[in-house]
C-alpha cells in the first residue's frame, strides 16, 4: 500500500483506551515512542474504571512495610492451583515476577497513590497482595493513567474513534488498522496492540463460547464487544480458554451495585429462599455466581453484622451499595428475616448453627474464614449471579505478541487484557481475584516496553532504556 493512502501514521497504535491500552501506551511513550490510542467511547468507558481496582502483586514496598512475606513464585502457585493448572504456567509466572515492577511504575511514574488491602484476603490467597487506588475503585487508576499518558508530547488519545479492523500485508504482518465508525480512516503503524477487552457485551459470542454466562446479567461496560478477539481470529491467531469468565455472585440486581468481596472473607454468610446456607460462602465470588444461579429464584441473601460493616464502610463500592437502598438493617435476625420475607425461625437456626461452628472452629460447608460470630445489628442484601468480564482470547507469548496455532508470531501484533487469553483457565472457577487487572496492566506494561525495545533496535536510536527489568 502506498504511503499516500494513509490518513494517519504512527509508531505504536493501541486499540482500546482502558487499563491495558493506557498502560501499554504510557510504558512505550515514556520511552519516546510515538503512540496513538483509539478509544471507542467518550474519553474512557472501560471495565478498569468500574472495577474495584484491586491489583495483585508480590514483594512490594507496601507488603514489606506491613510485614507481609510472600513471593512471586508463591503467588503464581496460588493462581495455578486455582485454575487447576489450565493456564499458561510460564505466562502466569512472568506476570507474577513483574507484578512488583507494575506497582512501582503506577506509584512512581504514573503518580497513582496506592494502598495495600490488609482487611481481608481472597479465596486461594496464601498471603495478602491486593493493592488498590484510594477508595478501592478503578476510577483513580484510569484517570491517573490517562493523565500520565496524555501529558507526554508524543502521546495522542482519540476518543469516539473505534478501531474497525486490522490491516495486514501479503505475509500476514500487521501494518496498521482501519478506524472510525465506517472504517473510513486508514492508520499505518509499526506495531499494533489489541486492548479492546473481551466479549462480555456480545451476546452472540457469549452464546457460542460461554452459554451459561449468556443467561446472566452482564455488569461490565457495553463497549467490550469482542472486536480484538474477532480480528485476531480473522488473521489466523490462536485462541485459548474462550469459555473462561469472571462471574460475580454478589450483584444486587436492579440496584446497579454489589456487595464488596471482603464481606464473606470477614465472616458474612449467604442464605437461600429457605433461610438456609447452601455452600461455602467464602469461596471465590466468581464461582459463587454459578452457585447462586442454581438456587430457587436464582438469588441469595448476603448477611453480615456491624463489625463487618465498620471495616468495609470506607470502600467506594460499599458507599454505593448503601446509597442504592439495596442494603437493609435490622437489630435482630428475626427482623432481618421479615425484611426479606424469610422464615424467621429457620434463619435463627441457621445463624445459631453458623455461630456454633465459629466457636468450634469448623464449618459444615468447609469455609476457612471463621473470624467471629455474627451478632446484631445485622445487615442484608439480596444478591444474584452475573457476568463481570470474559477471560479467554488470543494466545500471546511472554512479550504479549500474538501467536498462531503453529507457534509462529503474527508480526507486529500484540494483545493484552481481556483480548488475550487470561490466566484463569476455563469456566468461572479458575478466576482468582486480581487476575483481570494483573493480565490487563501487566501485559500492557510488557507490550509497551517491548515495542519501545523493538523500535529502538530497528532504528538504532537512543530511545531510553527501560527502568524495570
Measure the CA–CA gap between 368 and 366, rounded to whole angstroms. 6
Nearer to ligand FAD, 223 or 350 (CB): 223
Strand partners for 256: none
Residue 144 C-beta: closest distance to ligand FAD, Å:
14
Comparison of 104 and 334: residue with beta carbon closer to ligand FAD = 104
Shortest Å, Cβ 104 to ligand FAD? 18
Residue (of 10, 6, 9, 14) closest to 34 by Cα position: 10
CB of 229 to ligand FAD, least distance (A): 10
Which CB sits closer to ligand FAD, 58 or 351?
58
Between strands 269-271 and 8-15, the pairing is: unpaired
**Nearest distance in Å: CB 81, ligand FAD:** 18
Question: What is the smallest separation between the CB atom of 348 and ligand FAD, expressed in angstroms?
Answer: 34
Grid cell digits, residue 432: 482468582
Nearer to ligand FAD, 347 or 438 (CB): 438
The site for ligand FAD (CB under 6 A) is made up of: 15-21, 38-41, 44-48, 50-54, 162-163, 195-197, 219-221, 223-224, 227, 388-389, 417-418, 434-437, 440
Residue 221 Cβ, how far from ligand FAD at the closest point, in Å?
A: 6
Angle of the 435-459 helix axis to the 89-97 helix axis, nearest 10 = 80
Closer residue to ligand FAD (CB): 17 or 425: 17
Identify which of residues 124 and 373 has a Cβ nearer to ligand FAD in the complex: 124
Residue placing its CB nearer to ligand FAD in the complex, 16 or 340: 16
- Provide the minimum distance between the beta carbon of 60 and ligand FAD in the complex, in angstroms, as a whole number: 16
Amino acid at each position: 500500500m502506498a504511503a499516500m493512502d494513509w490518513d494517519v501514521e504512527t509508531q505504536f497504535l493501541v486499540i482500546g483506551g482502558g487499563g491495558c491500552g493506557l498502560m501499554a501506551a504510557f510504558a512505550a511513550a515514556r520511552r519516546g515512542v510515538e503512540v496513538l490510542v483509539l478509544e471507542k467511547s467518550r474519553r474512557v468507558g472501560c471495565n478498569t474504571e468500574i472495577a474495584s481496582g484491586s491489583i495483585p502483586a508480590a514483594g512490594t514496598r507496601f507488603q514489606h512495610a506491613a510485614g507481609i512475606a510472600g513471593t512471586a513464585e508463591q503467588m503464581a502457585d496460588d493462581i495455578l492451583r486455582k485454575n487447576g493448572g489450565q493456564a499458561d504456567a510460564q505466562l502466569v509466572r512472568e506476570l507474577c515476577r513483574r507484578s512488583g515492577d507494575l506497582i512501582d511504575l503506577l506509584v512512581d511514574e504514573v503518580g497513582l497513590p496506592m494502598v495495600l488491602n490488609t482487611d481481608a484476603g481472597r479465596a486461594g490467597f496464601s498471603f495478602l497482595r491486593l493493592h488498590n487506588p484510594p477508595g478501592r475503585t478503578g476510577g483513580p487508576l484510569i484517570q491517573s493513567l490517562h493523565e500520565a499518558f496524555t501529558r507526554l508530547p508524543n502521546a495522542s488519545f482519540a476518543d469516539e474513534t473505534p478501531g474497525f479492523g486490522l490491516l495486514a500485508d501479503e505475509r500476514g504482518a500487521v501494518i496498521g488498522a482501519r478506524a472510525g465508525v465506517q472504517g473510513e480512516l486508514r492508520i499505518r503503524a509499526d506495531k499494533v496492540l489489541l486492548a479492546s477487552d473481551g466479549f462480555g457485551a456480545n451476546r452472540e459470542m457469549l452464546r457460542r463460547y460461554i452459554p451459561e454466562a449468556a443467561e446472566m446479567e452482564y455488569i461490565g461496560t457495553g463497549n467490550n464487544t469482542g472486536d480484538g478477539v474477532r480480528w485476531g481470529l480473522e488473521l489466523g491467531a490462536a485462541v485459548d480458554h474462550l469459555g473462561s469468565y469472571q462471574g460475580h455472585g454478589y450483584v444486587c440486581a436492579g440496584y446497579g451495585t454489589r456487595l464488596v468481596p471482603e464481606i464473606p472473607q470477614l465472616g458474612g454468610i449467604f442464605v437461600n429462599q429457605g433461610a438456609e446456607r447452601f455452600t461455602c460462602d467464602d469461596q471465590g465470588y466468581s464461582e459463587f455466581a454459578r452457585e447462586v444461579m442454581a438456587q430457587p429464584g436464582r438469588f441469595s441473601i448476603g448477611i453480615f453484622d456491624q463489625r463487618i460493616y465498620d471495616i468495609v464502610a470506607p470502600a467506594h463500592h460499599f458507599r454505593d451499595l448503601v446509597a442504592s437502598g439495596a442494603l437493609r438493617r435490622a437489630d435482630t435476625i428475626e427482623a432481618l428475616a421479615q425484611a426479606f420475607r424469610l422464615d424467621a425461625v429457620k434463619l435463627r437456626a441457621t445463624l445459631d448453627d453458623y455461630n456454633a461452628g465459629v466457636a468450634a472452629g469448623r464449618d459444615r460447608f468447609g469455609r476457612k474464614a471463621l473470624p467471629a460470630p455474627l451478632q446484631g445489628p445485622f445487615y442484608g442484601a439480596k444478591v444474584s449471579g452475573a457476568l463481570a468480564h470474559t477471560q479467554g482470547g488470543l494466545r500471546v507469548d511472554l512479550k504479549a505478541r500474538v501467536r498462531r496455532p503453529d507457534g509462529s508470531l503474527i508480526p507486529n501484533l500484540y494483545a493484552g487484557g481481556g483480548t488475550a487469553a487470561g490466566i484463569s483457565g476455563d469456566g468461572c472457577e479458575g478466576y482468582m481475584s486480581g487476575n483481570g487487572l494483573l493480565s490487563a496492566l501487566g501485559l500492557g506494561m510488557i507490550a509497551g516496553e517491548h515495542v519501545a525495545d523493538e523500535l529502538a533496535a530497528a532504528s538504532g536510536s537512543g530511545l531510553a532504556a527501560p527502568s524495570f527489568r
